């Protein structure tokens, strides 16, 4: 069965050569450019420009060229920053005062996929209403082409790495980290992050052993940076006697960590560790989504700070951070956002903040993890259409009537000993249930309760 092209709030994703073609990419560029020219989310004076970057997938150059052709065809100038991480495009959008940004990436999806991610001029994905307008223009083929005299032009910019690194170094004490001469193993899964991450680590005085560092787009292992995919990194950290291992996903907006003993620690710790450092320096609010661990709340509480919870999605977290001037934010998938750099999840920011934390506290990764504490988290999903999803949520409200309830994205039920978050996927007809509790037995009890509701309704 042929897969459908997925068009969501953050952009478009599909299988290259099947439902994602040069024509599709060019039309999506035309739709985005026409949207920006029509005022988008605010008028801009003069000629508009859009920054384009791509990850290392082999289809990236073709799709980037097609999107650029679409943008130029409606009179938008294109600034091509080449093969760079997603957060680097976010940095360059604001640095160059662009009207928007485009990243050709399918993030951690398998190699046959690619995608087109959109950013507005503030480096945040379009809000729901704007994303819907772009999508409808694309589907209706309502573009605003210009004649040859008014076509946009493409300009190459080779300063993206240097600009991004400079902004990251500005938020840490370079000398303090460099003095420690940390031994680091870096796994960039043959994606876009290896080159720039090695440059950053060199600036921070680290001794780096890189694996899967060439940006071939031929991923050495399943690209999502989770425990079962990082056995090579764990072994390398242990063999090299390194103090820490870092794993990026293909577009380098997520960061996972391996401790000095070669043990993978949950991606949830990336945000908690970054926040622990930030709150030691600055007071203020943090923002994260409803599916992220309570560890961030524990860290914030110790510092006398507050955590704002948002619906799942980077754009939602970034919007809350901008609205509340948050000092740190991100998601439990290893995505860290520091507004001093960019409102985009950024593995480079995570690397810098975690190394700064280790340098200042003198603690190893395992010691930091022990100090933060932890919970048991489990996730499951099951098929459910919109009507079934509503029934499941209604039953869950009755079953968990004593819990504190947040309905901004499905339902999150908070108890003294844990929480349950049940929500529908934005991209497929399934429901996701995420449970976190003090121990496995308590978590299993909550999962069992959810699955009982599911089986009673769906069989």
Q: Which residues are catalytic?
A: 107
Q: Determine contact, residues 84/192, Cβ cutoff 8 Å.
A: yes
Tokens representing 256 are: 């996972």
Which of 376, 363, 348, 385 minimizes the C-alpha distance to 447? 376
Class of residue 395 by CB neighbours under 10 A (exposed 0-12, middle 13-18, buried 19+): middle
Find residue 417's DSSP bridge partners. none
Which DSSP helix (H) or strand (E) runs through 113? strand 113-120
Q: CB-based contacts of 210: which residues, under 8 Å, 6+ apart? A: 185, 186, 187, 188, 194, 198
Q: How far is CA 196 from the centre of its chain?
A: 17
H/E run at residue 211:
strand 207-211
Based on DSSP, count helices (H) and strands (E) in the chain, helices before strands: 15, 21
Backbone dihedral angles phi then psi of residue 12, each to the nearest 5 degrees:
-130, 145
CA distance 189 to 85: 13
d(CA 233, CA 103): 27
Element (H, E) at 381: strand 376-383
For the chain, give the longest Cα–Cα distance: 68
* Residue that is written with structure tokens 């760079």 in the block: 84
Burial class of residue 130 (count of CB atoms within 10 Å of its CB; 0-12, 13-18, 19+): middle
DSSP structural state of residue 2: P
Task: Kindly give, in sequence order, each residue whose CB lies less than 8 Å from that of residue 375, ignoring residues fewer than 6 positions away.
Answer: 293, 294, 295, 418, 436, 437, 438
CB-based burial of residue 346 (10 Å sphere; 0-12 exposed, 13-18 middle, 19+ buried)?
buried
Q: With beta carbons less than 8 A apart as the criterion, state whether 38 and 31 touch.
A: no
């Amino acid at each position: 069965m042929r897969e459908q092209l997925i068009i969501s709030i953050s952009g478009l994703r599909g299988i290259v050569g099947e439902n994602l073609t040069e024509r599709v990419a060019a039309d999506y560029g035309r739709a985005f450019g026409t949207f920006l020219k029509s005022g988008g989310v605010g008028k801009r004076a003069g000629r508009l420009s859009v920054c384009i970057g791509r990850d290392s997938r082999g289809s990236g150059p073709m799709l980037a060229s097609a999107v650029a052709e679409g943008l130029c065809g409606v009179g938008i100038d294109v600034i091509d920053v080449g093969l760079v991480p997603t957060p680097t495009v976010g940095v360059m959008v604001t640095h160059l005062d662009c009207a928007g940004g485009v990243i050709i990436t399918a993030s951690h999806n398998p190699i046959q996929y690619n995608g087109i991610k959109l950013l507005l001029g503030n480096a945040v994905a379009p809000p729901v209403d704007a994303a819907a307008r772009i999508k409808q223009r694309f589907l209706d083929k309502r573009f605003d082409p210009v004649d040859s005299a008014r076509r946009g032009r493409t300009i190459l910019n080779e300063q993206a790495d240097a600009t991004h690194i400079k902004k990251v170094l500005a938020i840490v004490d370079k000398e303090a980290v460099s003095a420690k001469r940390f031994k680091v193993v870096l796994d960039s899964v043959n994606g876009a992050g290896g080159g720039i991450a090695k440059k950053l680590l060199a600036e921070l005085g680290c001794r780096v052993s890189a694996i899967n560092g060439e940006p071939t787009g031929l991923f050495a292992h399943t690209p999502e940076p989770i425990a079962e995919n990082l056995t090579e990194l764990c072994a390398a950290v242990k063999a090299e006697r390194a103090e820490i291992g870092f794993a990026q996903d293909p577009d380098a907006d997520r960061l996972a960590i391996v401790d000095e003993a070669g043990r993978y620690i949950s991606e949830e710790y990336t945000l908690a560790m970054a926040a622990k450092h930030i709150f030691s320096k600055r007071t203020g609010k943090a923002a994260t989504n409803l599916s992220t661990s309570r560890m961030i709340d524990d860290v914030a509480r110790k510092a006398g700070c507050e955590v704002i919870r948002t619906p799942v999605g980077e754009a939602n977290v970034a919007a809350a951070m901008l609205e509340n001037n948050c000092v740190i934010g991100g998601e439990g998938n290893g995505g860290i956002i520091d507004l001093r750099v960019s409102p985009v999840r950024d593995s480079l920011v995570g690397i810098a903040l975690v190394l700064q934390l280790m340098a200042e506290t003198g603690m190893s990764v395992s010691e930091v993890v022990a100090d933060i504490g932890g919970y048991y988290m489990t996730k499951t999903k099951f098929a459910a259409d919109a009507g079934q999803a509503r029934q499941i949520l209604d039953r869950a409200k009755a079953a968990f009537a004593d819990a504190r309830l947040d309905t901004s994205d499905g339902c999150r039920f908070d108890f003294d000993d844990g929480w349950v978050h049940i929500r529908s996927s934005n991209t497929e007809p399934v429901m996701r249930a995420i449970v976190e509790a003090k121990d496995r037995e308590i978590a299993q009890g909550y999962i069992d309760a959810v699955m009982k509701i599911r089986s009673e309704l769906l069989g």
